[in-house]
Structure 1
C-alpha cells in the first residue's frame, strides 16, 4: 500500500515540475514578446539596416504566423537560455533583406507547438527595427536530429527557415527535426 502512495507522490511531483516549467516558459515568452513590440515601436527606420548587429540574447523582432494566429518574439541566439524567451535566430545566419538564409528555431512544446498545422502557401511575417517582411511557405521536410545540412548559411537568395524538434508529441529528446522553407514575397 505504501508503495502505491509513493508512486502517486512521485507522479504528482513530476507533473508539478513539468507544469512549473511550462508556466515559467510562458511567462518568459510573454515578457519577451512585450519587449519585442517595444523594440519595433521605438525604431522603424530603413537606415538601421546597415547598423543592425544584435548581441547574443537581444530581442530583435517579431515572427507573425497568421494561419495559426501566432505572434512570437525573436531573440538572437539558439542556446537554451534564448529559446526559453522565444524563437531563436541562429547566430551567423542572415536577417531579412540581407539576401541570405535566415534560420529561426523554437521548441515544439512552447513557441512552435502549432507549427505542424501550417500548409504550403501559408504566410510568415518577420518584423524587425528596419522593416516588415513577408515569406510564403514553399516546402517542409523532416530530417534526423543530427542532420545539419539544412543550415547552409548561403547568401545567394533570401529564404526563411524554421526548425523545431519532431515528432511534436514526443516526450524527451526528439529524434528528428521539422523544417519549414519559405521564400520572400515581393
Structure 2
C-alpha cells in the first residue's frame, strides 16, 4: 500500500520537474533573443568611423569582403504586421536559432541580388508568422542600410525538402522558413515558407 500511495506523488513530482525545465528553457531563450536584439541594434547603428560591410559585398577596390562568422549578430528583422523586432544571427544550428532568427550560411545578404534565407523556431521568434498575408512588409536592417520586402506568396513543404534553398543569384528574394503546423507538439512534419521581393 505504501508503494501505491507514493506513485501519485512521484507522478506529480515528475510533472513539476518537466514543467520547471520547460519554463527555464522558455525564460533562457527569451533572455538570449533579447540580448541578440540589443546587439543587433548596436551592429546597425551608424558608425563614426568607416567599417567593413558585413557579407559578400565588394569594397572600393572591387574585392569581396569576408562573410560573417557563424554565431555573429548581423542585423535586425522587423515585421510591422505582428509588431516583431528580431535579431538576425549568422547560422541556423540549434545554438544560433536559440538566439534569434538564423541567416542560412551560404545564402545571400540584402542588397546582393540573390536568395536570402532566414529561419526561426515556430514556438519562439516566428510564433505569429502564420498571421502574415500577401502584401505585408518585412524590413531587414543591416549595417549598410534598411531593405524593405513585400510578401508575394507562401508554400508548405515537407520538412526534409531542401529544394527550396536554391541559392540563386539572379534576383533578390527573401525567404522566411519555420516548422509547420504552428501548433504541432514535437518535431513538425512540414516547413512553412514565406517568399518576399524587394518593395518598389
Segments ≥4 residues shifted beyond 3 Å: 42-47
- Tell me the residue number matched to 1:68: 82
Of 10, 27, 31, the residue aligned with 1:6 is 10
Secondary structure class of the residue paired with 1:84: helix
Secondary structure class of the residue paired with 2:151: strand
Structure 1 position 31 matched with structure 2 position 30: no
Contact 1:65 1:71 in 2 (8 A): yes
State the alpha-carbon separation in 2 of the partners of residues 32 and 52 from structure 1: 22
Secondary structure class of the residue paired with 1:81: helix
State the alpha-carbon separation in 2 of the partners of residues 173 and 68 from structure 1: 25
Larger Rg: 2
Secondary structure class of the residue paired with 1:147: coil
User: Cα offset for 1:4?
Assistant: 1.4
Q: Which runs of 5+ in 2 are unaligned?
A: 59-64
State the alpha-carbon separation in 1 of the partners of residues 103 and 52 from structure 2: 21
Of 10, 16, 22, the residue aligned with 1:18 is 22
State the alpha-carbon separation in 2 of the partners of residues 182 and 18 from structure 1: 34
Give the 3 Å change call, closer, same or farther, for CA 17–47 of structure 1 in structure 2.
Answer: closer
- Tell me the residue number matched to 2:171: 157
Q: Which moved more, 1:129-138 or 1:40-49?
A: 40-49
Give the 3 Å change call, closer, same or farther, for CA 134–46 of structure 1 in structure 2.
Answer: farther
- Tell me the residue number matched to 2:125: 111
Write out aligned runs for 1:28-177 (5 A). Answer: 28-43=32-47, 48=53, 49-50=57-58, 51=65, 53-177=67-191
User: Cα offset for 1:46?
Assistant: 10
Q: How many residues align?
A: 186
Greater RCO, CA 8 A, separation 6+: 1
Q: TM-score, normalised by structure 2?
A: 0.89
Give the RMSD, CA atoms, in angstroms. Answer: 1.6
